[in-house]
């Protein structure tokens, strides 16, 4: 069998705790003890949270009926090459930044075309706001402000690069101001996925790493909290 050699393993996952920012209207994270070693002979706890809270994967059923649910993902979907586009400087100056087709084409001139079957990750640097109100950037009208992919770039990546998914270190793959979830609705069909609320993308190279996405095979689910690990060759 061919072997995969790597120099480092990078965890791209935020820990699950009570400080996780929760999408407006989604259920809160609750952690609770069930059994105690002294009384029951073992320790055991439980938790409840939404499918799309914290670092998580989303599948086609999230926005489309009669589409792929989490338990129907192929194992190969959860182990994919990835490429990383770094736009952290641009996002620092503009909370509503969106990756346009021009940005994508400039990146491809330097690094080559995004390979078919990859997951394209957008490093916005927004993970530094994870525990603050700026992460969602809610304004006085309850509008949200954080960076993401443009619809034009998303369509191009699907049609012309045949990507397997998009990932980002914000609360959503499209900018927060896009309340129609436009990129998600176009992306999520078949085996394509999104990964949101990532962290540590600054530790990855532009090309060459692989992602392992440890999603739970919940029957009928539209998404799942996931341990996302990058293997850097």
Give residue for tokens 């640097």: 125
165 in any annotated domain: yes
List Cβ neighbours of 140 (8 Å cut-off, separation of 6 or more): none
Give pLDDT tens digits for 51-107.
999 999 999 999 999 999 999 999 999 999 999 999 999 999 999 999 999 999 999
- pTM comes to 0.96
Cβ density class 113-129: b for 16+ within 10 Å, e for less? ebbeebbbbbbbbbbeb
**pLDDT value at position 97?**
98
**pLDDT value at position 34?**
98
30 in any annotated domain: no
Give pLDDT tens digits for 22-34.
999 999 999 999 9
41 in any annotated domain: no
The rounded distance, in Å, linking the Cα atoms of 36 and 58 is 34
| Greatest CA separation for the chain | 63
116 in any annotated domain: yes
Instruction: Provide DSSP, 214-226.
Output: EE---TT-SEEEE
Position 2 confidence tier, pLDDT thresholds 50, 70, 90: very low
* Domain containing residue 183: CATH number: 3.50.30.50
21 in any annotated domain: no
Give pLDDT tens digits for 153-188.
999 999 999 999 999 999 999 999 999 999 999 999
**pLDDT value at position 5?**
73
Q: Which is it for strands 119-123 and 79-86: parallel, antiparallel or unpaired? A: parallel
135 in any annotated domain: yes
Coil, helix or strand at residue 160: helix
40 in any annotated domain: no
Residue 137 belongs to domain spanning: 8-16+50-232
Domain total of the chain: 1
Position 212 confidence tier, pLDDT thresholds 50, 70, 90: very high
């Amino acid at each position: 069998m061919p072997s995969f050699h790597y120099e480092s393993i990078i965890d791209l996952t935020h820990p699950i705790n009570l400080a996780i920012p929760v999408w407006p209207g989604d259920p809160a994270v609750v952690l609770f003890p069930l059994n105690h070693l002294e009384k029951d002979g073992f320790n055991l706890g439980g938790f409840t949270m939404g499918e799309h809270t914290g670092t998580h994967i989303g599948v086609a059923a999230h926005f489309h009926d009669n589409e792929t649910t989490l338990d129907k993902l192929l194992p190969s979907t959860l182990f994919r090459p990835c490429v990383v586009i770094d736009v952290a400087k641009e996002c620092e100056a503009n909370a509503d930044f969106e990756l346009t087709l021009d940005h994508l084409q400039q990146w491809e001139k330097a690094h080559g075309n995004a390979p078919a079957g990859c997951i394209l990750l957008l490093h916005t640097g927004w993970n530094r706001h994870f525990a603050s109100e700026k992460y969602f950037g809610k304004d006085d009208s309850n509008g949200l402000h954080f960076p993401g992919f443009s619809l034009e770039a998303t369509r191009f990546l699907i049609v012309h690069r045949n990507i397997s998914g998009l990932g980002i270190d914000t609360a959503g793959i499209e900018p927060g101001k896009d309340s129609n979830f436009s990129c998600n609705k176009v992306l999520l069909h078949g085996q394509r996925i999104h990964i949101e609320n990532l962290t540590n993308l600054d530790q990855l190279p532009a090309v060459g790493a692989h992602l392992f996405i440890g999603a739970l095979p919940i029957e009928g689910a539209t998404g799942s909290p996931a341990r996302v690990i990058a293997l850097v060759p």
